[in-house]
Structure 1
Amino acid sequence: MIKFKQMDNFREGHKIQTDNDLRKEFTILRHSEGNEWLQDVSNNVTKQAIKDLCIAYKNFFRKQNQKQPGYIKYASKKIAHYNRIGKSLTVYDMNGHPKFRSKKNGDFRFYQDNVKIQFTETHAKLESLAGSRRKNRQRLNWIRLAERNRIPVRAKYMNPRIAFDGERWWLSVGIQTTRHLKPLRRLSFACKKRRQARSEGIGIDLGIKDLAVISDTTKVGNINKTRAIRILKKKRRRLQRQVSRKYQMNKKGDSYCKTSNLIKSEKRLLRINHRLTNIRQNHIHQATTAIIKRKPSFVCLEALNVRGMMKNRYLSEKIQEQNLYEFRRQIEYKARWAKIPVVIADRWYPSSKTCVICGHVKKDLNLSERTYVCPVCGNVIDRDFQAALNLKYYGEAERMNSAS
């Protein structure tokens, strides 16, 4: 109901309703006849859900009003699919429209009241978890944590969330601290000394053969080529085939009967997927932290069109495993912490095709050519290293233009 109201306001050009107005309407709906089941859920859960929905729609409407260059209202695959089935597209099918979180795969999360939640060194007390009327109801609301002393006791908590990834339950909470952060720009002697100690800027070329090639001849290897990843992927393939065969064996008409062994196999498969994700995340964190710890004067990256790259059916799996966007995201926020500027090169900047010596652009450079040979000056260089050098010079030029 709330989703339809926001979209109606968007279509008719009216102002979007705030979360306060929607919460008032939901309170009336909650106490109406036929909706008594809503009383079993804490009002803080529904309150936060409405707030999250309003934030999602504000972001969606802002993107629609900006109409950035290259924006496509509907995806080409969705248009072709709707033409085949004979249906017409609606505003809910637009790119970037908020989607309902699926509970089918066990990945869901919910909000807890930041006033009623409590922590000790080993336990956490949640709100309205147990429906028992016995005297020990308060004891039932205490849940033992897997780690000791991970969350500070007697602090001010903000936005606590509980999430389930299909295997484990996770509790995330914000802590208000009295530690004062240093200003971004400080003209003290110590800060000037730190600026002088920084090395020159670097350019980073992201790819598939290597995760990153840096302009100082450093390479970040592809973690997916290691033996540990290959063994886990082999186990996953065999387990996926095993799960598929069990589904076919337990098929009854149009439905499937989930047996205990099938549930165990799916949990093992989920555990392997989590293991692969954790290894890749750890590799990216270590690589980005090592780059930022060098204290370069700036970092220059490419604005890659990952969605377009994924359309290559021969390389889509390799590109997806590299997590290129996650690498850029971590570089950006870690550089912000270290007060290092990040320059994002234009998407169409020919970093690999431009000769680093004479500036000639070789337009017919194929992806299979790993070594760049310039037809003008005869320069022979690795194409990824040349791209990193060109990105470094691009960042230096952008910094000079912004300074002048």
Structure 2
Amino acid sequence: MQRAYKVELKPTNQQIQKINQCLGVCRWLYNAYLAKNQSLYQDFKEGKLNKKKAFMSANDFDKYINNDIKVLDDCKWINDCGSKARKKAICNAEFAYKKFFKGEAQFPRFKKKGKSKVGLYFPRNNKTDFKIERHKINIPTLKWVRLKEFGYIKANANVISGTVTEQAGKYYISIVCEIEEVKNSLPKTEPLGLDLGIKDFAIFSNEVVKKNINKTSRVKKLEKKLKREQVRLSRKYECLKKQNKIRKGEATRQNIRKQIVKVQRLHQRLANIRTDYINKCVSEIVGQKPSSITIEDLNVKGMMKNRHLSKAVAGQKFYEFRIKLTNKCKQNDIELRIVDRWYPSSKLCSCCGNVKKDLKLSDRIYVCKECGLVIDRDLQASINLREAKTYKIA
């Protein structure tokens, strides 16, 4: 069984310079691969090439870089990055482009410096690679790098590979380790239904309610601060357009870079708060030891098209919650049931089974006209999900 660990690094100035150089090379190779295939695809559309020649594989592009590009005097900087990291960047671009070439997705975006996430991949080739001590790790080409968190990764971990990334001026490493698969077979309690929402994050069928973290004062203060910093960044861009003097322009560009990092760190802090809340919710759900958990297959992509709810839906991180709940249920031998998105969980009366077709989104209290049941809309949805007979296993 493979498990990933992510921890922040404390590299030296020389190591930071080396990481930035390698990340720049990987970003350039990713964009160069897409640009090459984009030109080939354009020739195919114009009838100059057949469909087989309109696609260049990662191996062919790697040979093209090694034989035709790296030999040039202006492109020797490509050798500053390791061959494995370069090949991984090209393979990532190939994976994204294949989806577009098969018609499964749109054309992948080019990676922009300072905005797009780029990874620096290192496989384990030697015994000394990724040797871990309490406070440091031996990364290939970077040698020993200090860790910010001590003891999180076990010293005798069997590391397969690692990826170094940069985010908001901070550097992280994600390592994949091979561990023994252990399932916690604990005595189970009654089944549990789970309804996700926007007013409250989750409502359980046993009447437990997990509140929306985005409505807390802590998150609202950070969002207000983020809005102010974004306004400052926008003003700096406007100031740069108006300035004509070179010296003032250079100083403004440096201030813009500093302001961009401030905005990125606030985004990262908000994301960390929401992710931490999701982890705690998943842990609490699995800690109840239910025999099964039933959730609804939400159409998050469709919900994001509603401009009035898109921000609230994005802040809830429903997809991340489902992925983590699925993994946790597999570890603890709990059956996770997924009910179809068209199942009338909110419109169905949990007492008599009557379906109220005219139920509006603004109706927070469900009143049944047949049996007179009065119940909270979200609580009834979680009860109906628990009692659902048609589902699929995640």
TM-score (norm 1): 0.74
Question: Which one of 261, 273, 278 corresponds to residue 284 of structure 1?
Answer: 278
Q: Does 1:109 align with 2:119?
A: yes
Q: Deviations over 1:192-238 (max 9, x none)?
A: xx4xx311211111111100111111111111111111221222222
Corresponding position of 2:136: 123
> Could you tell me how far 1:19 is from its partner in structure 2?
5.2
For residues 175 and 244 of structure 1, do their structure 2 counterparts lie closer, same or farther at Cα, with a shift above 3 Å needed?
same
Corresponding position of 1:136: none
**2-side partners of 1:303 and 1:47: how far apart?**
37
Q: Deviations over 1:231-256 (max 9, x none)?
A: 21222222222222233233336997
**1-side partners of 2:99 and 2:92: how far apart?**
11
**2-side partners of 1:384 and 1:46: how far apart?**
50
> Gaps spanning 5+ residues in structure 2: where?
1-31, 45-49
**2-side partners of 1:327 and 1:311: how far apart?**
20
Q: Quick one: higher RCO (CA 8 Å, sep 6+), 1 or 2?
A: 2
> Could you tell me how far 1:334 is from its partner in structure 2?
0.8
Corresponding position of 1:371: 365
Question: Which one of 53, 64, 84 corresponds to residue 44 of structure 1?
Answer: 84
Q: Does 1:218 align with 2:208?
A: yes
Q: Tell me which amino acid in the other structure corresponds to 1:225.
A: K
Superposition pairs for residues 3-402 of structure 1, below 5 Å?
A: 3=34, 12=51, 23-24=62-63, 26-30=65-69, 32-33=71-72, 35-57=75-97, 64=104, 95-105=105-115, 107-115=117-125, 117-119=129-131, 120-128=133-141, 141-153=143-155, 156-177=158-179, 179=180, 181-182=181-182, 194=186, 197-252=187-242, 258-394=252-388, 396-398=389-391
For residues 332 and 113 of structure 1, do their structure 2 counterparts lie closer, same or farther at Cα, with a shift above 3 Å needed?
closer
> 1:203–1:215: 8 Å Cα contact kept in structure 2?
yes
**1-side partners of 2:330 and 2:54: how far apart?**
35
For residues 340 and 57 of structure 1, do their structure 2 counterparts lie closer, same or farther at Cα, with a shift above 3 Å needed?
farther
Q: Tell me which amino acid in the other structure corresponds to 2:211.
A: G
> 2:340–2:391: 8 Å Cα contact kept in structure 1?
no
> 2:213–2:219: 8 Å Cα contact kept in structure 1?
yes
Moved more, 288-297 or 236-245: 236-245
> Could you tell me how far 1:53 is from its partner in structure 2?
3.3
Q: Output the aligned Cα RMSD.
A: 3.3
Q: Deviations over 1:148-198 (max 9, x none)?
A: 344444654322100001221001112234x4x25x7xxxxx95xx4xx31
For residues 397 and 47 of structure 1, do their structure 2 counterparts lie closer, same or farther at Cα, with a shift above 3 Å needed?
closer
**2-side partners of 1:175 and 1:328: how far apart?**
23
Q: Deviations over 1:5-46 (max 9, x none)?
A: 59869x837998875565455543455556544333321111
Q: Tell me which amino acid in the other structure corresponds to 2:172.
A: W
For residues 273 and 27 of structure 1, do their structure 2 counterparts lie closer, same or farther at Cα, with a shift above 3 Å needed?
same
Q: Deviations over 1:95-150 (max 9, x none)?
A: 35443333232632211242263444433444445xxxxxxxxxxx4433323344
> Could you tell me how far 1:369 is from its partner in structure 2?
0.6
Identity of aligned residues (%): 34
> 1:208–1:319: 8 Å Cα contact kept in structure 2?
yes
Residue 211 of structure 1 aligns to a residue in which SS?
strand
> Could you tell me how far 1:384 is from its partner in structure 2?
0.5
For residues 20 and 271 of structure 1, do their structure 2 counterparts lie closer, same or farther at Cα, with a shift above 3 Å needed?
closer
**Count of equivalent residues:** 346
> Gaps spanning 5+ residues in structure 1: where?
65-94, 130-140, 185-189
Moved more, 29-38 or 322-331: 29-38
For residues 142 and 247 of structure 1, do their structure 2 counterparts lie closer, same or farther at Cα, with a shift above 3 Å needed?
same
Residue 339 of structure 1 aligns to a residue in which SS?
coil
TM-score (norm 2): 0.76
> 2:200–2:212: 8 Å Cα contact kept in structure 1?
yes
Corresponding position of 1:71: none
For residues 206 and 150 of structure 1, do their structure 2 counterparts lie closer, same or farther at Cα, with a shift above 3 Å needed?
closer
Q: Which structure's residues are more often strand, by fraction?
A: 2
**2-side partners of 1:398 and 1:106: how far apart?**
38
Residue 173 of structure 1 aligns to a residue in which SS?
strand
